[in-house]
């Protein structure tokens, strides 16, 4: 076979995989990075990354992130594209679809854009949910294409799949054999449909699976070790809810019943995408979610990103774990929480847990005791400072146990606050016998104390002169 024909065949074979490999130069291996969760990411210029409801496609050494970038009134402005090698350092590339890309986009809503690559046509194909700027009556799917991943996409129009089905929240998936699929909610979000795409990925060929009447939206479809997983949310508008998943060994086959995953609000987020991160140590699966700004009193562009590693207790089940920060190593293919174990901190006298009131993530939120449960606002991680003291980090917020205003007085309030270098956030762990310990504030020499040895839920924590009371004695529990 002539060299040129061999090269073309090699490119086509490699491009048919989930990752489109670059053939020009060796990929740059990214170093491990730490990202802070539930924040607005910024790009290399310091501008806020607007990739809401988006998806990620890996091309060569780069992960390309596409998502919603809206006007102040929440209407469509751009689909913006960013790229990164490490999933933290994002470079803005282009507004790949804009209001001027087509007449019907001048006054529209475009949601949940997802881009897939077609190895046969060598086209990047974007699927999205299309509405007018004023209501959600259209319920259409829309398609755009480009010959380059971050170039300007040519809008192909919008339609209802097979001319029949409503189409709202949407995702795409390319199987190992190159077959493309689109998933979208239909019938006013009551149904969830899986469609097989045409060979060029620009149209729907057939409806191959449906969940009628289950009221699921925000689908994310991925495959792990031959098992397909569908991760979805309920339909509660902008407000977060319980995410559920189903699994199967065939897209058209029998799927398991919906099972809960994560906490009751998906850690105040909604599914956008599940990203496989593959490297020398294997493949991790990263949940990408949005904490919608609309649920926080703002707009879509005020939204924050909630990322979480997926865990697989068995071949067909999954779990969703939340950490205030993540360590991502794209070269190794690993996504982990910070070092150390989160545990409950339990008062000896009452058996109740140290709790951030209302699971607030705000600075100065009160710390109380409360009946122990599964809330992340009752889980704390010791951060060894290397000087004989530790900080205690709340898992739900990433903030530290703090003596308010750095007071040195008895009865000073205990709050959570952004972790820093203040000695009012530094605690010495002193043995109290029988497996219990005291926590002594470095700045004051006073102990963490349940006020007046109260045993009721909601009793405040304070600092107080250290003594022998069991309301100053604590023990860790992992569940």
**What confidence category does residue 34 fall into, taking pLDDT thresholds of 50, 70 and 90?**
very high
| pLDDT mean over 332-351 | 97
3-state class (DSSP) for residue 97: strand
d(CA 135, CA 222) in angstroms, rounded, equals 31
Q: Give residue-wise pLDDT tens across range 220-249.
A: 999 999 999 999 999 999 999 999 999 999
What was the pLDDT predicted at 10? 37
What was the pLDDT predicted at 399? 98
| pLDDT mean over 12-21 | 40
Q: DSSP code of 403? A: E
Instruction: Give Cα 277 to chain centroid, integer Å.
Output: 14
108 contacts 1 by C-beta, under 8 angstroms: no
CA torsion sign, 392 to 397 to 403 to 405?
positive
Q: Give residue-wise pLDDT tens across range 374-419.
A: 899 999 999 999 999 999 999 999 999 999 999 999 999 999 999 9
367 contacts 416 by C-beta, under 8 angstroms: yes
What was the pLDDT predicted at 17? 40
What was the pLDDT predicted at 30? 86
What was the pLDDT predicted at 223? 98
Token couple for 76: 């469509």
d(CA 262, CA 242) in angstroms, rounded, equals 8
Place of tokens 């689908």: 219
Strands in 76-84's sheet, in edge-to-edge order, are: 52-59, 62-70, 76-84, 91-98
Q: Give residue-wise pLDDT tens across range 427-479.
A: 999 999 999 999 999 999 999 999 999 999 999 999 999 999 999 999 999 86
412 contacts 461 by C-beta, under 8 angstroms: no
Q: Give residue-wise pLDDT tens across range 127-142.
A: 999 999 999 999 999 9
269 contacts 296 by C-beta, under 8 angstroms: no
**What confidence category does residue 28 fall into, taking pLDDT thresholds of 50, 70 and 90?**
low
* DSSP track, 187-243: TTTTEEEEEEEPTTSSSEEEEEEEETT---EEEEEEEETTEEEEEEE---TTS---E
What was the pLDDT predicted at 2? 41
Domain boundaries, the chain: 17-336, 342-477
CA torsion sign, 45 to 47 to 48 to 52?
negative
Q: Give residue-wise pLDDT tens across range 305-324.
A: 999 999 999 999 999 999 99
Assigned fold of 17-336: Tachylectin-2; Chain A (2.115.10)
Distance set, CA 94 to CA 123, 124, 146, 153, 312 (Å): 17, 15, 13, 10, 36
Q: Which residues of 149-162 are buried (b: 16+ CB within 10 A; e: fewer)?
A: bbeebebeebbbbe
| % pLDDT > 90, the chain | 93
Pairing between β-strand 217-224 and β-strand 227-233 as defined by DSSP bridges: antiparallel
342-477 CATH, one of 3.40.190.10, 2.80.10.50, 3.40.50.300, 2.40.160.60: 2.80.10.50
| pLDDT mean over 281-287 | 98
**What confidence category does residue 21 fall into, taking pLDDT thresholds of 50, 70 and 90?**
very low
Q: Give residue-wise pLDDT tens across range 66-118.
A: 999 999 999 999 999 999 999 999 999 999 999 999 999 999 999 999 999 99
**What proportions of the chain, in percent to the nearest 5, are helix, strand and coil?**
10, 50, 40
152 contacts 94 by C-beta, under 8 angstroms: yes
d(CA 188, CA 213) in angstroms, rounded, equals 10
């Amino acid at each position: 076979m002539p060299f040129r024909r061999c090269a073309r065949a090699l490119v086509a074979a490699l491009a048919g995989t989930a990752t489109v490999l670059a053939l020009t130069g060796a990929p740059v291996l990214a170093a491990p990075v730490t990202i802070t969760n539930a924040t607005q990411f910024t790009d290399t210029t310091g501008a806020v990354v607007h990739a809401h409801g988006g998806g990620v496609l890996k091309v060569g050494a780069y992960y390309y992130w596409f998502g919603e970038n809206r006007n102040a009134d929440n209407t469509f402005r751009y689909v913006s594209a960013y790229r990164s090698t490490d999933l933290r350092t994002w470079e803005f590339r282009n507004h790949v679809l804009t209001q001027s890309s087509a007449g019907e986009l001048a006054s529209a809503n475009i949601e949940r854009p997802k881009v897939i690559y077609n190895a046969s046509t060598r086209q990047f194909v974007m699927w999205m949910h299309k509405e007018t700027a004023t209501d959600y009556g259209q319920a259409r799917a829309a398609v755009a294409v480009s010959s380059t991943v971050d170039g300007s996409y040519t809008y192909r129009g919008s339609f209802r799949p097979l001319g029949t089905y409503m189409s709202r929240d949407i995702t795409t998936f390319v199987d190992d054999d190159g077959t493309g699929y689109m998933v979208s909610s239909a019938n006013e979000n009551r149904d969830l449909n899986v469609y097989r795409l045409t060979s060029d990925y620009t149209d729907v060929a057939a409806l191959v699976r449906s969940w009628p009447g289950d009221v699921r939206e925000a689908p994310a479809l991925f495959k792990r070790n031959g098992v397909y997983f569908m991760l979805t949310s309920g339909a509660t508008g902008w407000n977060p809810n319980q995410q559920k998943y189903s699994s199967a060994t065939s897209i058209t086959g029998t799927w398991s019943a919906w099972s809960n995953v994560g906490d009751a609000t998906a850690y105040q987020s909604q599914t956008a995408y599940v990203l496989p991160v593959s490297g020398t140590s294997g493949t991790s699966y990263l949940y990408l979610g949005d904490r919608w700004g609309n649920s926080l009193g703002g707009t879509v562009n005020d939204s924050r990103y909630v990322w979480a590693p997926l865990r697989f207790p068995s071949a067909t089940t999954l779990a969703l774990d939340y950490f205030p920060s993540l360590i991502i190593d794209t070269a190794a293919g690993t996504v982990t929480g910070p070092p150390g174990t989160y545990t409950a901190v339990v008062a000896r006298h009452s058996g109740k847990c140290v709790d951030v009131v209302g699971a607030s993530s705000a600075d100065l939120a009160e710390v109380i005791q409360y009946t122990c449960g599964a809330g992340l606002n009752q889980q704390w991680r010791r951060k060894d400072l290397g000087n004989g003291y530790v900080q205690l980090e709340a898992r739900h917020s990433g903030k530290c146990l703090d003596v308010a205003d750095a007071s040195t007085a008895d009865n000073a309030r205990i709050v959570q606050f952004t972790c820093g270098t203040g000695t009012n956030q530094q605690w010495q762990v002193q043995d109290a016998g029988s497996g219990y310990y005291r926590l002594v504030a470095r700045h004051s020499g006073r102990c963490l104390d349940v006020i007046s040895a109260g045993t009721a839920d909601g009793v405040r924590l304070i600092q107080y002169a250290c003594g022998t009371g069991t309301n100053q004695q604590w023990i860790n529990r992992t569940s």
